Copies of this chain bind each other. A is one copy, B any other.
Amino acid sequence: MKKKVKLIDVADAVGVSAITVSRVLRKPELVSEAVRLRVTEAVARLGYVPDPAARALASARTDVLGILIPSVTNNVFSNVLRGIYDRVEGLPFNIQLGNTRYSLLEEERLLGVFSRQRPAGLIITGLDQSHRSKTLLAQADCPIVQIMEIGGDPIDMMVGFSHRDAGRGATRHLQERGYRRIGFLGARMDPRTQRRLEGYEQAMKEAGSFDERLIVTTHRASTVTLGCELLGELLSRTHEIDAVFCNNDDLAIGVLFECQRRRISVPDDFGICGFNDLEMTAVANPPLTSVRTNREEMGRRAIEMLITRITGEPIDDPVVDLGFEIVARQSTAGPIAREGRASA
């Protein structure tokens, strides 16, 4: 391994002081063009790359943007991540990803690790941080964006949408299409799923058709297979069901598969509404209605908000509501008019 090229090596090569080279790299506007060009050339020629640790130690600041998400395998978060990586491309920042695995304790631990690094900015998922986490965030001394949801007091900034409204909107859509006995299937009951359930409950109560037996939830992570199982569970409780609002599209696809298997006709006998609008829903048979949320945009916006704050520009609104859209497809086209649903 050849010896590392340091700032001073570049400086010596050009015949300036180390600090001038540093300035060419950090604040080029402070250096005359002539010197700047010679330094840039020498940096390239010698293959100099700054040492991030030394830089962090000396400047009490890093180029790290810390991201805390609860899962790397969940589609929803990887979509957000893609937006984040997209937007950060070409900018002088580095993404550091923390996987909290839906654990508040792990979130605290990672926040500790991150904040010791004096990040340039932080992105954290959701509104429900622990008290200790909030303390850590308050001390972090960098811009912070909470993503996925909006509501309550932002720690600093927020970008997301109201899961409660989305849950209510999806349920109302089913009601408008003529479904009455609408079930709720929820897995991985994290705070956002919880609020979608609240929206569902509200819509059902408003329609006077709320019934606890229609709600099936589990803390297990959601999968397509689980969608099949949960539908089975729901149907075993009561057959007087004519639609289901699934908390995400994996469950919805599972429900669809299970309906195919049980020869339950979708949407005539049974309506299905998913959540997240994964691309697959559009080509299923029948295509599935789902709630579209712009997750990549959420990632991009979060980065933009951080950058804006880091560069010291003013922010118009610290809370950005990205909204949602009910994408109505055939799976909720409406029931065939008849008394209740024929048993499978």
Contacts and interface: CB of A to CB of B under 8 A. Distances in A.
Interface string A100-113: 01000000000011
A116 B50 contact: yes
Given A73-B81, A95-B97, A57 B51 contact: yes
Nearest to A280: B224
A97 B94 contact: no
A49 B112 contact: yes
A261 interface: yes
Q: 7 closest A-B pairs (Cβ-Cβ)?
A: A53-B56, A224-B280, A73-B78, A53-B57, A97-B97, A72-B81, A1-B139
Q: Is the interface of A mostly helix, strand, loop or mixed?
A: helix
A54 interface: yes
B260 A283 contact: no
Nearest to A2: B139
Copies of this protein in the complex: 2
A53 B279 CA distance: 42
A228 interface: yes
A194 interface: no
A225 interface: yes
Size band of the A side of the interface? 35 or more
A261 B254 CA distance: 18
Q: Which of A49, A52, A228 counts the most B-chain CB atoms under 10 A from its CB?
A: A52
17 contacts: A49-B116, A52-B53, A53-B53, A53-B56, A53-B62, A57-B57, A72-B78, A73-B82, A96-B97, A223-B279, A224-B283, A225-B282, A228-B283, A253-B280, A254-B283, A257-B285, A261-B285
